[in-house]
Structure 1
Amino acid sequence: MDLNTITEVVRRPADLPGADWREGDAWLAGGTWLYSVEQPHLDRLIDLTSLRWEPLVPSDTGLAIGATCTVRDLHAFEPPGEWTAGHLLATSCEAFLSSFKVWNSATVGGNICMSLPAGPMITLTVALEATYELWATDGSVRTVDAHDFVTGDNRNVLAPGEILRRIDIPARALRKRTAHRRFSLTRLGRSTVFLVGTRTPGTSDLLLTVTAGTTRPVRLAFDTMPDADALRRAVDAIPDGVWFADPNGTPEHRRHLTQHFAEEIRRELTAGGPA
């Protein structure tokens, strides 16, 4: 879509781009949502891709993902063999409802900052206990837990002009056992629910992440593997107002699916004992 209110595109922003920010601006990376609807409140775009942030930096401490890393590049990344949870990177990318153009242009950071319930990059990073590095317009930097970033449907903790710079996934989370379940109304449709369970090797803990069916990510943490009744009670304790409603499912439908898939994940991660 043509954005006919835009009068300028900043192609070479400062290394700390918040210094260029003013009211009426928008950050431009993949632009897949930005160009999909009218943006009458905007008059200037600041192109972040020219800063050439490193897309993927694996290390002994984990994986750093630049906010402008494309979904295509994340999907193509081959994680080290000891990262047993590394398959979730590709799995989450494949949960996108996207065309060829979106697949090649959409960015990890853009999907997170849109903060929609079905955002698969949110599912991935919350499930793997990531942190986000945020840059403010005054040059200050803060780090937030991925779980705390999204506060509701299309809502998050970003202040005006603040930018997501990097996602850091710790190696300890990438070494966990995982199980996931996803449901959509069609084979390539938007997620109705997307659940990921992780278990630390050598323990009987469980971290269950519930997304897509809720307006914000929900984590259910257990020091030891719960039985079926305890897990069901934990899901039932998710407040009614947190369950999401749209044409892909009612809150009741999503709660039912979550109960069903949570138990499947519990059984899968219980099987075989500590790994």
Structure 2
Amino acid sequence: MDLNTVTEVRDARERVPWQPGDAWLAGGTFLFSEPQPHVRRLVDLGRMGWRPVGRLPDGALEIAATCTIAELSRYGRSLDAPAAPLVEQCCRAFLASFKIWHLATIGGNLCTALPAAPMTALTAALDGRCLLRSQAGVLRRLPVTEFITGAGEQKLGEGELLRSVTLPARALHRRTAFRRASLSGLGRSGALVVATLDPADASFTLTVTASTVRPVRLWFPALPDAAALRDTLGGAVRDGDWCDDPHGLPAWRRHMTFRLAEEARRELDERTGHS
């Protein structure tokens, strides 16, 4: 879609002063998908030269905001870590064309804060932390679960930039179980659940996205039984936190979330030989 209100495109390397009507441009797949009448100038991140994705000296995985889904998918297939399959599973949850895969970015997927955003599921499930940079150059870090506060809502300040997301090395060693549901075979996610089991201390986590307006992450010191998981999940998600849109009614999303959560819990239980 043409953005006929845009009068200027600037290179982000120039550090131009931020002004009302500015918008960061990375892949642009969301920005150009619908009218943006408030946008007057685009600040293009395309030439920043950030490494798309790679390991840090401490073993953590750093994903640049400008990393595309295609780049992350390729890296994930070569990643030597127990949690590696989750990368491809979440990339495939886009169900997007190859053109979108080569343009859409991880940063854009997080900053639009859509409930069905699969990069939210991936990074929240693996303890992702966002690195944010203000116009003054001040850096701050926030867990993904705190960065996204609601449907289309996140904690970016005026002119603030999402620089990268870091997944700690320990999280990459977790066993994972992935479950997803939608109203149609090629539809947007209506419920997406990721369960993890940490071999270091046997702790269990459950991350819920797509069915809720914000990511919900539960932690247990050990693998819970079905009743404990159901009770904790029921208490963690308030009635108003279930999504309500054409991709699924709240009652259906709630039902599918509980069902998928139990399936994921049972998968990890069976893989550890408890049952």
TM-score for both structures, normalised by structure 2: 0.94
- Equivalence for 2:257: 258
Q: CA deviation at 1:79?
A: 3.9
**TM-superposed deviation, 1:274:** 7.5
- The answer to whether structure 1 residue 3 and structure 2 residue 8 are counterparts is no
Instruction: State the match for 1:36 in structure 2.
Output: 33
1:197 Cα shift? Answer: 0.4
Which SS does the other structure have where 1:20 is aligned? coil
C-alpha distance after superposition, 1:178-217 (max 9, x if no partner): 1010011222210000000000115432100000000000
Q: 2:168 aligns with which of 167, 170, 175?
A: 170
Partner-residue secondary structure (3-state), 2:109 = helix
Residues 272 and 74 from structure 1, CA distance in 2 versus in 1: closer, same or farther, beyond 3 angstroms? closer
Counterpart residue identity of residue 269, structure 2: T
The alignment covers a number of residue pairs equal to: 271
Does residue 110 in structure 1 map to residue 72 in structure 2? Answer: no
Q: Deviation at 1:11?
A: 2.7
Q: How does 1:64-143 map to 2 (within 5 A)?
A: 64-77=62-75, 78-81=77-80, 83-143=81-141
Give the match for residue 26 of structure 1.
Answer: 23
For the residues of structure 2 that align with 1:266 and 1:207, how far apart are their CA atoms?
Answer: 9
Identity over the aligned pairs, expressed in percent? 47
Question: Which residue number corresponds to residue 50 of structure 2?
Answer: 53
Q: 1:226 aligns with which of 206, 224, 227?
A: 224
Task: Classify 1:272/1:89 alpha carbon distance in 2 versus 1 (closer, same or farther; 3 Å).
Answer: closer
Q: How far does residue 22 in structure 1 lie from its aligned partner after superposition? A: 1.2
Q: Does 1:215 align with 2:213?
A: yes
1:179 to 148, 169, 177: 177
Query: Structure 1 residue 236: deviation in Å?
Result: 1.3
Secondary structure at the counterpart of residue 89 of structure 1: helix
The amino acid of 2:5's aligned partner reads T
Q: Displaced runs of 4+ in structure 1, greater than 6 A?
A: none
Q: Contact 1:201–1:274 at 8 Å: present in 2 too? A: no
CA RMSD of aligned residues (A): 1.5
Are the aligned partners of 1:235 and 1:258 in contact in 2 as well (CA < 8 Å)?
no
Q: Which residue of 1 aligns with 2:267?
A: 268
Q: Which runs of 5+ in 2 are unaligned?
A: none
**Distance in 2, Cα, partners of 1:274 & 1:128:** 23
Instruction: Name the aligned partner's letter for residue 34 of structure 1.
Output: L
Distance in 1 between the 2:34 and 2:25 partners? 14
Indicate conservation of the 8 Å contact 1:130/1:168, yes or no: yes
Give the 3 Å change call, closer, same or farther, for CA 274–10 of structure 1 in structure 2: farther
Q: Secondary structure at the match of 2:258?
A: helix
The answer on whether the counterparts of 2:66 and 2:105 sit within 8 Å (CA) in structure 1 is: yes
Instruction: For residues 37-87 of structure 1, give each alpha carbon's deviation from its aligned partner in whole angstroms, at most 9, with x where no partner exists.
Output: 111111111100111111012234211011000111111113432x10011
Contact 1:13 1:46 in 2 (8 A): no
Separation (CA, whole Å) in 1 of partners of 2:224 and 2:12: 53
Report the Cα offset of residue 98 of structure 1: 1.9
Q: Is the 8 A contact 2:89 2:178 kept in 1?
A: no
State how far apart, in whole Å, the 2-side matches of 1:274 and 1:239 are: 34
Match of 1:204 among 190, 202, 205: 202
Q: CA deviation at 1:21?
A: 1.5
